[in-house]
């Protein structure tokens, strides 16, 4: 299967460690491969002896062909490069659904999550073939003209889309991996498989259990090279988990740290103490994926308040400097605590 590189999003930077999740018991089927510029892993207790890998890979290729900005003739690239300003265009139901979800969340978060930040992401070098460097204020101002989720309009009845500014550039990498996880999970459930774990680039969804006991998933520590590479271990049943972090995809200029997560209002990488956010969702990995990115963009105070007010199960890890040494402090919303410690 061809490796298809994506713009690396906040939600895809974070590797989850599988604690005792890779059973060698013959009853557990394990599939893996490459997709979206990363890897996928699928583990399940099979209901039949059918080889599902060809079907899974066919599904992932179809998703890439709709939503990868790295494929020149993908559906999203067609929108970005060829659809003219003000022209209504019919798009596939799958593409429409992911865009609609992204725009709804963008409105709910007042632009903290924004699928149109591609021009700024690319400007800072985090996009396809980018060179990471600090752009000028003028370059940032010019790129900002092309961004804004309100510059895209959808017609729900006819499944059409149009851009209100010729330079608008959609990037769904902050939710499409989660969407891919959901689609594989749906495929398994159609095959009457109820015990599974699906992961793409760190975004994950589980159901039931593995051969012995629940699925155990570890949230990686912000400094994985330490003796304790994980921050928290979760026992999951039917649940999706996505994490967004700032310490894997970044660059430094002097003593400044520039994260790939962009603040759409300033046009610059976010600057706060938040190191990562993990979100649990019982129904949608796409939603968990996008929410983790949104909360990471908001920062520790606004993000936590937003999550608590909307009953989102979120787990925050942030940096705190004490006596010249950086420590990592964690904080969970009420719903996260309830689900993790029932």
Segments of the chain assigned to CATH 3.10.520.10: 10-62+175-340
- Quote the CA–CA distance of 116 and 208 in Å, as a whole number: 37
Residue 197 forms beta bridges with which residues? 43, 206
The span from the CA of 22 to the CA of 235, in Å, is: 14
**Rounded CA gap, 215 and 260, in Å?**
30
- The tokens for 31 are 């599939």
Distance, CA of 196 to CA of 181 (rounded, Å): 11
Say what the pLDDT of residue 128 is. Answer: 59
pLDDT value, residue 269: 79
- For the domain made up of 76-163, the CATH class stated in words is mainly alpha
Distance CA 334, CA 245 (A): 21
pLDDT for res 107: 97
Phi-psi region of 323 (alpha: psi -120 to 50; beta: other; left: phi over 0): left
Secondary structure of 196-251 in the HEC alphabet? Answer: EEEEECCEEEEECCCCCCCEEEEEECCCCCCCCCEEEEEEECCEEEEEEECCCCEE
Local structure of 156: helix, strand or coil: coil
Total count of residues recorded for the chain: 342
pLDDT one digit per residue (tens) for the chain, 342 residues: 333 333 333 333 333 444 444 444 448 999 999 998 889 999 999 887 889 999 999 999 999 999 998 898 999 999 998 888 888 999 999 999 999 999 999 999 999 999 999 888 888 667 656 666 777 889 889 888 889 999 999 999 999 999 998 889 999 989 999 999 999 999 999 999 999 999 999 999 999 998 888 999 988 777 655 556 667 889 999 999 999 876 555 445 556 555 667 877 887 877 777 888 999 999 999 999 999 999 999 999 999 999 999 999 999 998 877 767 777 889 999 999 999 876
CATH superfamily of 10-62+175-340: ApbE-like domains (3.10.520.10)
- Angle, CA 276 vertex, CA 274 and CA 278 arms, to 5°: 130
CA angle 27, 200, 190 (to 5 degrees): 55
pLDDT the model gives residue 256: 59
Dihedral in degrees, nearest 10, Cα atoms 250, 231, 319, 342 = 120
The DSSP annotation for 276-293 comes to: EEEEEESS-HHHHHHHHH
Question: pTM for this one?
Answer: 0.87
Are 60 and 180 in contact by the 8 Å Cβ rule? The answer is yes
Q: Which residue has 């996009």 as its token pair?
A: 127
Residues of the chain with CATH 1.10.3980.10: 76-163
């Amino acid at each position: 299967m061809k490796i298809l590189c994506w713009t690396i999003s906040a939600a895809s930077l974070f590797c989850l460690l599988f604690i005792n999740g890779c059973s060698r018991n013959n009853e557990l089927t394990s599939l893996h491969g490459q997709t979206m510029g990363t890897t996928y892993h699928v583990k399940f207790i099979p209901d039949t002896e059918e080889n599902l890998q060809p079907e899974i890979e066919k599904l992932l290729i179809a998703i890439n062909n709709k939503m990868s900005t790295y494929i020149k003739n993908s559906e999203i690239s067609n929108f970005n490069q060829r659809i003219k300003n003000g022209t209504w265009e019919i798009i596939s139901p799958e593409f429409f659904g992911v865009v609609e979800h992204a725009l709804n969340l963008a409105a709910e978060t007042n632009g903290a999550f924004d699928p149109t930040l591609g021009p700024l992401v690319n400007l800072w070098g985090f996009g396809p073939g980018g060179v990471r460097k600090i752009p000028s204020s003028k370059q940032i101002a010019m790129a900002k003209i092309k961004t804004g989720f309100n510059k895209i309009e959808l017609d729900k009845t006819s499944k059409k889309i149009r851009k209100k500014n010729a330079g608008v550039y959609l990037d769904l990498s902050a939710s499409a991996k989660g969407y891919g996880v959901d689609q594989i999970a749906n495929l398994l459930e159609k095959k009457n498989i109820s015990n599974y774990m699906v992961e793409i680039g760190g975004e994950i969804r589980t159901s039931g259990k593995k051969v012995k006991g629940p699925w155990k998933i570890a949230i990686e520590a912000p400094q994985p090279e330490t003796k304790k590479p994980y921050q928290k271990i979760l026992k999951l049943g039917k649940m999706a988990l996505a994490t967004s972090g700032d310490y894997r995809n970044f660059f430094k200029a002097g003593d400044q740290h520039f994260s790939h997560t962009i603040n759409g209002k300033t046009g610059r990488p976010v600057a706060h103490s938040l190191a990562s956010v993990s979100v649990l969702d019982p129904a949608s990995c796409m939603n968990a994926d996008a929410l983790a990115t949104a909360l990471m963009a908001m920062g520790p105070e606004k993000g936590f308040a937003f999550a608590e007010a909307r009953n989102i199960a979120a787990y925050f890890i942030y940096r705190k400097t004490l006596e010249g040494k950086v420590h990592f402090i964690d904080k969970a919303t009420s719903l996260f605590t309830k689900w993790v410690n029932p």
